[in-house]
Structure 1
Amino acid sequence: MDASTAASDFALRAAHERFTTSPGMPSGVRDLVAESWRRSARCGVPADGSVLPSLTTPARDLRAYRHAHPLAVALPMLREVLGAGATDDGHVFAVGDADGTLLWVEGDTAAIARAERMHFAEGAGWSERQAGTNAPGTALALGRAVQIVTGEHYSAAVHGWSCAAAPVRDPRTGRVLGVVDLSGGPTIATPPALAAVRAAALAAQAEIARAPASQAGDAVRLRALGRDSVLLECDGRTHRLSPRHSEIVLALALAGHGVTGDRLAVDLSEREVPASTLRAELTRLRALLGPRLLGSRPYALLRPVRTDYDEVTDLLAEGRVGEALARYAGPMLPRSDAPVVVEHRRCLEQQVRGAVLGSGDHRLLRRWVDADWAADDAQAWATLADTLPGGSPQRAAAAARARALRLPTTVVPQAGRHAAGLQRCRS
């Protein structure tokens, strides 16, 4: 290390110490670094390096995840462009996903051993919120190539390193797929290193564009009506999702576009959902579905999605009430209390119910009241009685059922509860 480099390194470490001992507006560092330090502090990352990034993905799951990741097709090219040079120069070459999880870490054997001591290893999370200011994490946070040198890292455990990284985007959608990184000694803190990762990211995007597209035209099908968990059909496979994963996938499908983590948390619960809890659920879901289906930044389903909810609403819009009722298998995820599910569940039930009651067709009305979820619908029973011929025993029975359901709740408690629910739906 020459004298000027040593002086610069000393100045950066002094600035870091000032910020960590007297938090405020960082001085003596680039604006990019100062803003990243403030983000890192808000996330609670220890600046003293006492807590290292965690290994977020087990090795068994990581193998399957890497195989399915879009950057896998560009890995041979990236190894040729960056990996060989990293090995020769005593550096580390890494590829991470859009959440900052390192998928591949390769290069000089001694450098890899040093990197592993600070958990810069395959399966570890190096986003800013997990590791503080660092080139892969900050490149993902900003959506552009960055270079972070020695004391600019927020965690003191990384002060002996310099790194340069650039995000890789899907050439078709522009969505960030991951990040490429070079980490090592002083020669990484130079313009050629930053230019190298920029060029590698662009080359990776070109490689992805040339690769055969996956079955992107094949829609994913979701079935959620009358079920406590979603059935997701994709590429000839059917996944029965857990209740929480069902709510997440359904929330993304109903949104029809990408949503932020904060928005998704509000959609899923009226209580505050810790960001770490939501990220963990999405990590597990992505491991199940694969990165080609579940994207992040923002969170979204990356394939066309068709739900049984959509099918029913489309049929109702076309006035095909009988077919809509036949497709309506029941309330959507009836046990879920996720606000977005409750809202759409009530809305669809109201639409179907209104169409059936307004049809004047006694056969549709009979099918409605015969269903478990509408058996206590007093107005539907009364409407059925009105549509049946006078003097019909069925008409008399329907009218009697309607009168019984309208008795006080102390006599027919279930009817009262259902009527209250219907009233809330109408209000």
Structure 2
Amino acid sequence: MAKAPVDVARLVAVDPAQAARVLKETRAATLAGQRARVAPRPVIGQSWERLLRGGLDPKRDARSGLLAGEEVTLRREASPLRHVLPALWEGLLPAAAATPHVAVVADAEGRVLWREGGAQVLRLADGMGFEVGADWREEAVGTNGVGTVAVLRRPVQVFGSEHFLRAHASWTCAGAPVTDPRDGRLLGVVNVSGPLETMHPASLAWVGSVAKLAEATLRELHLASLERLRAVAAPVLARLDRRAVVVDADGWTAAVTGMPYTARIPLPKSRSAGPVWLPGVGPCSLEPLADGWLVRVGAEPAPPDGARIVLDLARPRRWSVTVLGDEGSWTHELSPRHAELLYLLAAQRSGRSASQLAEDVFGDPARKVTVRAEMSRVRRYLGPYLEHRPYRFREDTDVELLLPDDPADLLPHSAAPAVRAAPAAGGEHVVTVPRVARVGDPGGLR
């Protein structure tokens, strides 16, 4: 019987050489399907299980294909992290410069966009393919402080032979996710890496603090941009005698008149001035205003009949909901919590009360207030297609689930009891969840 997982951080701090030996033995036994004397840490063991199921060869070359320079430039220009790069380097580089560490900023897909460090450690990183443009998704290069962080959406430190690929066994890394403070969407990962003997266990807390600082800076930048747009909008709205809202380029509200405040308006992906139908708002007209849009609201909104909703949970870390109707279609990227809630509502078309969802998600039916707050946010973009008391999709709406081929890959970040207990429809990739009027049990998803 394997012993309990060793306290790797403490062992590395006390005796790096012994830590390396223990981790090497644990990795060799576990990946060979044998019982290790010391069990891997749960976060590492679960990552190894995902990779073994996916068929990744632990002996493969650690280097992945690099993006062309033009593609790296395009991704940098599109990444919100470019706005906080000075804050990230200010937090990461001074400490990294004192030891042979490389500091990295990757996007949400695990592509390395920026990298800094001393010449010697950069040469070592180059030898492992830890270069600008490299693909460091977990499924591409195994357990690591970029890809595994993106899967779990929380800080992770990987010591030596805890890496899945043998080529990474002399390396240690600590990474933390940077999420959009507005909606929880993953923006990227910050990471520091270096030789095992040079990495301090406190690196995880350090990198996590830098990621939180970046999120706070993004929040401040967003509020400042809304304040500037609000100042421009004030005289415009003062002249209007009808309902209107001014939003930024992403649909976040700066000011309203004649209607209740809504934090975000779901703008169409392709935007141009003129008439448009907006989910949850109805018929409107769009007019460009400064760095945003003036939305003139027309008649009372009414949800379209016979809409179809596609809940895409098949892609790793890129969950979304798409609404298809006669008036057009739109897609909204989901935070981890909203992905859980919508999956559970799709799985139970008859509906779930706030206390039932609280038990499904937290294992505690008393956490109704938290569930109601999250469902209030969900209704901001899916309001016309949802009902409450209990929460459920409208009976005249068809819901299609796109699920991972492997049931174990369904929302791998989730600790929700109902998600972890779900068989994911036996691994079917596409599951059409019928309306309640036709069937009460949604295909055995629970």
Query: Which TM-score bucket, shorter chain as reference?
Result: 0.5 to 0.7
2:318 to 297, 300, 304: 297
**Higher strand fraction: Structure 1 or Structure 2?**
2
**Higher helix fraction: Structure 1 or Structure 2?**
1
Match of 1:149 in 2: 159
Q: 1:136 to 1:220 in 2, by over 3 A?
A: same
2:135 to 125, 137, 161: 125
Q: 1:92 to 1:18 in 2, by over 3 A?
A: same
CA distance in 2, matches of 1:119, 1:255: 43
- The percentage of counterpart residues that share the same residue type is 30
* Alpha-carbon shift at residue 31 of structure 1 (Å): 1.4
Letter in 1 for 2:250: A
Contact between 2:29 and 2:35, CA under 8 Å: does it hold in 1? Answer: no
Aligned pairs for 1:147-186 within 5 A: 147-186=157-196
Unmatched 5+ residue regions in structure 1? 224-232, 237-253, 263-278, 280-295, 313-342, 345-427
Contact between 1:127 and 1:137, CA under 8 Å: does it hold in 2? Answer: yes
2:46 to 35, 38, 61: 35
Match of 2:217 in 1: 207
Q: TM-score, normalised by structure 2?
A: 0.50
Q: 1:23 to 1:46 in 2, by over 3 A?
A: farther
Secondary structure of the corresponding residue to residue 6 of structure 1: helix
Q: 1:43 to 1:53 in 2, by over 3 A?
A: farther
Q: 1:15 to 1:58 in 2, by over 3 A?
A: same
Q: Does 1:85 align with 2:102?
A: no
Match of 1:114 in 2: 124
Contact between 1:168 and 1:180, CA under 8 Å: does it hold in 2? Answer: yes
CA distance in 2, matches of 1:3, 1:211: 42
Contact between 2:99 and 2:198, CA under 8 Å: does it hold in 1? Answer: no
Contact between 2:13 and 2:200, CA under 8 Å: does it hold in 1? Answer: no
Q: TM-score, normalised by structure 1?
A: 0.52
Query: How large is the Cα RMSD of the aligned pairs?
Result: 3.4
Secondary structure of the corresponding residue to residue 173 of structure 1: coil
Q: Does 1:103 align with 2:103?
A: no
CA distance in 2, matches of 1:189, 1:30: 18
Match of 1:310 in 2: 327
Secondary structure of the corresponding residue to residue 15 of structure 1: helix
Match of 1:216 in 2: 250
CA distance in 2, matches of 1:26, 1:103: 39
Match of 1:11 in 2: 22
Secondary structure of the corresponding residue to residue 202 of structure 2: helix
Match of 1:136 in 2: 146
CA distance in 2, matches of 1:96, 1:121: 11
* Alpha-carbon shift at residue 172 of structure 1 (Å): 0.2
Secondary structure of the corresponding residue to residue 192 of structure 2: strand
CA distance in 1, matches of 2:134, 2:221: 28
Name the larger-Rg structure: 1
Q: 1:117 to 1:90 in 2, by over 3 A?
A: same
CA distance in 2, matches of 1:26, 1:132: 23
1:259 to 295, 312, 323: 312
Letter in 1 for 2:53: R
* Alpha-carbon shift at residue 158 of structure 1 (Å): 0.7
* Alpha-carbon shift at residue 160 of structure 1 (Å): 0.8
Contact between 1:27 and 1:34, CA under 8 Å: does it hold in 2? Answer: no
* Alpha-carbon shift at residue 137 of structure 1 (Å): 1.3
| Offset from partner CA, 1:26-49 (integer Å, 9 cap, x none) | 95321111111111212222212x
CA distance in 2, matches of 1:208, 1:184: 28
Q: 1:171 to 1:2 in 2, by over 3 A?
A: closer
* Alpha-carbon shift at residue 87 of structure 1 (Å): 2.5
CA distance in 2, matches of 1:47, 1:96: 23
Contact between 1:16 and 1:151, CA under 8 Å: does it hold in 2? Answer: yes
Letter in 2 for 1:5: P
CA distance in 2, matches of 1:101, 1:162: 18
Letter in 2 for 1:120: F
